[in-house]
């Protein structure tokens, strides 16, 4: 099970401005180990955004299928990146979170760091035990009810599908999961399951696919600057657009344009 959890340690040297973008098929948890930042802001594709401090033990939880961007100024830091395989933990979903301290996870991360290079049997066993403890802690504190324990529910009614699609096609950059759920008179959790039953994908992925489809059209058929295309399709920055486009399409926006 330890192989399904990867813990890596990242050092960010002093920089005037840094943008971190996470858009992964796996769950990812980042733990701020030490360092400073004059300002740090985050935004989730699912809607939440805000400003957070750079205190040690603060965590950033990005569930599989969601995406998030954080921007920091005057930053130098060390953080841990914990990745949990969504395939292995396919019956568990995590709640998005940013800026809340988790001192136990921070302590586990520091002990994991201290045992990473150990080659003796006791050290290896301790390292695996610590990683497993971190995994259980994350699933317990940030996990939601197992998917298999939930009723699959019914798809959206046809008239609700039409209203939801109209909203998505009219203003996909101003929507939130809660606002879509309000159309269906459901909780966000109920709506997410009903949407998946109707369209065989999540609301976030549906919106992401539409944005990327629009970006491909603009790249192929216009001379609009790539940075402007990213902004026009709802990405928070040029680097976020480029990273997401390459992950989903398999090539960079500039190369896609040159090959179109």
At which residue do the structure tokens 């890596």 appear? 8
Lowest pLDDT segment from 44-48, 67-71, 153-157, 211-215:
44-48
Whether the pLDDT of residue 153 is over 60: the answer is: yes
- The percent of residues in the chain predicted with pLDDT above 70, rounded, is 93
Residue 148 maps to a domain: no
Q: What is the pLDDT of residue 3?
A: 62
Torsion from C-alpha of 8, 13, 15, 18, nearest 10 degrees: 0
Q: What is the pLDDT of residue 150?
A: 47
**pLDDT greater at residue 45 or residue 249:** 249
CA distances from 241 to 80, 86, 233 (A): 24, 23, 9
* Beta pairing class for 97-101 and 58-62: antiparallel
Mean pLDDT for the stretch of residues 93-110: 95
Mean pLDDT for the stretch of residues 166-186: 79
Average pLDDT, the chain: 88
Which of 205, 191, 187 is closest to 163 using CA atoms?
191
Query: For 32-42, what is each residue's pLDDT tens digit?
Result: 999 999 878 88
Q: What is the pLDDT of residue 260?
A: 84
Pair (21, 106) in one structural domain: yes
Pair (60, 98) in one structural domain: yes
Which of 80, 90, 59 is closest to 7 using CA atoms?
80
Pair (36, 89) in one structural domain: yes
Mean pLDDT for the stretch of residues 124-151: 81
Lowest pLDDT segment from 25-34, 96-105, 143-152:
143-152
Pair (96, 48) in one structural domain: yes
Whether the pLDDT of residue 249 is over 60: the answer is: yes
Lowest pLDDT segment from 110-114, 154-158, 173-177:
173-177
Mean pLDDT for the stretch of residues 88-106: 89
Which backbone phi and psi does 163 adopt, to 5 degrees?
Answer: -70, -40
Which of 48, 96, 44 is closest to 68 using CA atoms?
44
Distance of CA 183 to the CA centre of its chain: 25
CB atoms under 10 Å from CB of 219, counted, come to: 22
Pair (122, 233) in one structural domain: no
Which of 142, 167, 202 is the C-terminal boundary of a domain? 142
Which backbone phi and psi does 232 adopt, to 5 degrees?
Answer: -70, -20
Whether the pLDDT of residue 138 is over 70: the answer is: yes
- For 97, the domain range is 5-142
Mean pLDDT for the stretch of residues 86-107: 89
Cα four-point dihedral sign 212, 216, 217, 219: positive
Pair (19, 126) in one structural domain: yes
Helix (H) or strand (E) holding 183: helix 177-184
Which of 107, 142, 177 is the C-terminal boundary of a domain? 142
Mean pLDDT for the stretch of residues 196-204: 86
The HSE-up count of residue 223 (CA atoms within 13 Å, CB side) is 0
Q: What is the pLDDT of residue 154?
A: 84
Whether the pLDDT of residue 146 is over 60: the answer is: no
Pair (189, 229) in one structural domain: yes
Residue 203 maps to a domain: yes
3-state secondary structure of 176: coil
Q: How many domains does the chain have?
A: 2
Q: What is the pLDDT of residue 173?
A: 62
Residue 24 burial by CB count (10 A; 0-12/13-18/19+): exposed, middle or buried? middle
């Amino acid at each position: 099970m330890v192989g399904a959890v990867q813990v890596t340690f990242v050092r960010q040297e002093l920089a005037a401005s840094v943008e971190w973008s996470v858009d992964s098929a796996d769950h990812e948890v980042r733990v701020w180990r030490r360092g400073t930042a004059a300002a740090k802001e985050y935004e989730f594709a699912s809607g939440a955004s805000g400003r957070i401090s750079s205190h040690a033990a603060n965590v950033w939880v990005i569930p599989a299928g969601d995406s998030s961007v954080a921007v920091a100024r005057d930053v130098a830091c060390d953080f841990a990146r914990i990745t949990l395989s969504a395939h292995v933990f396919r019956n568990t979903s995590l709640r998005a979170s940013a800026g809340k301290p988790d001192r136990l996870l921070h302590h586990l991360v520091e002990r994991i760091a201290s045992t990473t290079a150990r080659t003796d049997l006791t050290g290896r066993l301790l390292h695996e035990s610590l990683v497993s403890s971190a995994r259980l802690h994350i699933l317990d504190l940030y996990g939601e009810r197992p998917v298999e324990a939930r009723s699959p529910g019914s798809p959206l009614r046809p008239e609700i599908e039409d209203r939801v699609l109209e909203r998505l096609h009219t203003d996909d950059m101003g929507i939130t999961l809660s606002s879509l759920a309000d159309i269906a008179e459901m909780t966000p959790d109920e709506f997410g399951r009903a949407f998946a039953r109707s369209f065989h994908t999540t609301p976030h992925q549906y919106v992401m696919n539409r944005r990327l489809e629009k970006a491909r059209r603009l790249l192929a058929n216009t001379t609009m600057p790539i940075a402007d295309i990213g902004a026009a399709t709802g990405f928070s920055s040029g680097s976020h657009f480029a990273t997401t486009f390459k992950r989903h399409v398999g090539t960079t926006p500039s190369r896609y344009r040159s090959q179109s």
